[in-house]
């Protein structure tokens, strides 16, 4: 029998979730940084080659607060300065955070 002391490596996702629950400013800062990243606002969409990439990209990016997997809620086309912008709404399967991610399709412009 092995009597060595066993140390279990900390789980970074569990640590992040515990911190998000106990420190509201941590969650607010994580959201603020996500909104500053590509796709975080309509003014700064993620550029993709085709519409078929949009939903997969939106649901493969982890939740900015808890790193949980988001689930697709909606996908619509909005307009900004006469340019179409894909707006994908997701909800985190773990913490329930709802957020939008914005995409533009390369080479698509309004005539
Ligand atoms: Zn989450």
The alpha carbon of 31 and the centre of ligand 1 are apart by a number of angstroms equal to 11
The alpha carbon of 23 and the centre of ligand 1 are apart by a number of angstroms equal to 15
- When pLDDT is averaged across residues 77-100 and rounded to a whole number, the result is 95
Question: pLDDT tens-digit profile of 31-57?
Answer: 999 999 999 999 999 999 999 999 999
For 84, the token pair is 């179409």
Instruction: Spell out the domain ranges in the chain.
Output: 12-105
Q: Are 69 and 63 in contact (CB under 8 A)?
A: yes
pLDDT at 111: 54
The HSE-up count of residue 30 (CA atoms within 13 Å, CB side) is 18
The alpha carbon of 111 and the centre of ligand 1 are apart by a number of angstroms equal to 39
The alpha carbon of 110 and the centre of ligand 1 are apart by a number of angstroms equal to 35
């Amino acid at each position: 029998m092995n009597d060595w002391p066993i140390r279990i490596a900390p789980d970074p996702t569990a640590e992040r979730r515990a911190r998000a629950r106990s420190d509201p400013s941590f969650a607010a800062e994580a959201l603020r940084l996500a909104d500053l990243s590509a796709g975080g606002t309509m003014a700064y969409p993620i550029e993709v080659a085709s519409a078929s990439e949009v939903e997969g990209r939106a649901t493969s990016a982890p939740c900015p607060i808890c790193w949980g997997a988001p689930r697709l809620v909606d996908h619509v086309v909005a307009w900004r300065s006469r340019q179409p912008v894909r707006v994908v709404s997701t909800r985190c399967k773990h913490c329930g955070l709802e957020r939008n991610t914005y995409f533009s399709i390369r080479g698509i412009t309004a005539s």
